[in-house]
């Protein structure tokens, strides 16, 4: 599983079902593999197919935008990667936060993810339409 897909899975888990990470920051590679496997299993067990499809669709749309308009696609890719990295960082401390913080920050990441995916969809749509109008 690629790192990007793993981070996307972590983001999905974070947004839709919460995630746990009770391990120390420094872990052996074996422990990290176990965590990665657990996160993947959690995604499969807890994330509905529709929501997982939404994240996958967003990534595919971004890949299409990169082909159609590489400059604009790179801008969105940078924002998307930044969001995924921030969500992964949050996931590492989420369980140590109280419920009010978790609810608020979870909602914020859900909103930011939805908003960015809509922007990516619109950018691809606009680029494809403008090519068709020429």
Task: Confirm if 122 and 69 have CB atoms less than 8 A apart.
Answer: no
State how far the alpha carbon of 14 is from the alpha carbons of 5, 7, 60, 117, 127, in Å.
Answer: 14, 10, 20, 17, 32
pLDDT (0 to 100) of residue 28: 52
For the chain, the domain total comes to: 1
State how far the alpha carbon of 73 is from the alpha carbons of 14, 76, 81, 118, 123, in Å.
Answer: 25, 5, 12, 14, 9
Structure tokens at 122: 């619109």
pLDDT (0 to 100) of residue 33: 56
Task: Please identify which residue in the block is written with the tokens 């935008």.
Answer: 65
Q: Which helix (H) or strand (E) holds 37?
A: helix 29-46
Binning pLDDT at 50, 70 and 90, where does residue 11 land?
A: low
Domain that holds residue 71: 3-132
Instruction: Sort residue 24 into left (φ over 0), alpha (ψ -120 to 50) or beta.
Output: beta
pLDDT in tens, 42-94: 443 344 455 567 778 999 999 999 999 999 999 999 999 999 899 889 999 99
Structure tokens at 76: 């969105």
pLDDT in tens, 79-134: 999 998 998 899 999 999 999 999 999 999 999 999 999 999 999 999 999 988 77
Tell me how long the chain is.
134
């Amino acid at each position: 599983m690629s790192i990007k897909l793993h981070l996307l899975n972590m983001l999905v888990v974070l947004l839709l079902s919460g995630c746990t990470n009770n391990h120390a920051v420094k872990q052996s590679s074996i422990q990290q593999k176990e965590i990665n496997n657990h996160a993947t299993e959690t995604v499969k067990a807890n994330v509905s197919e529709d929501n997982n499809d939404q994240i996958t669709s967003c990534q595919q749309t971004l890949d299409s935008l990169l082909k159609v308009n590489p400059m604009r696609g790179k801008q969105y890719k940078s924002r998307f990667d930044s969001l995924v990295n921030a969500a992964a960082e949050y996931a590492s401390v989420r369980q140590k936060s109280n419920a009010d913080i978790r609810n608020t920050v979870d909602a914020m990441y859900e909103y930011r993810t939805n908003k960015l995916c809509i922007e990516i969809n619109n950018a691809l749509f606009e680029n494809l339409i403008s090519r068709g109008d020429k």
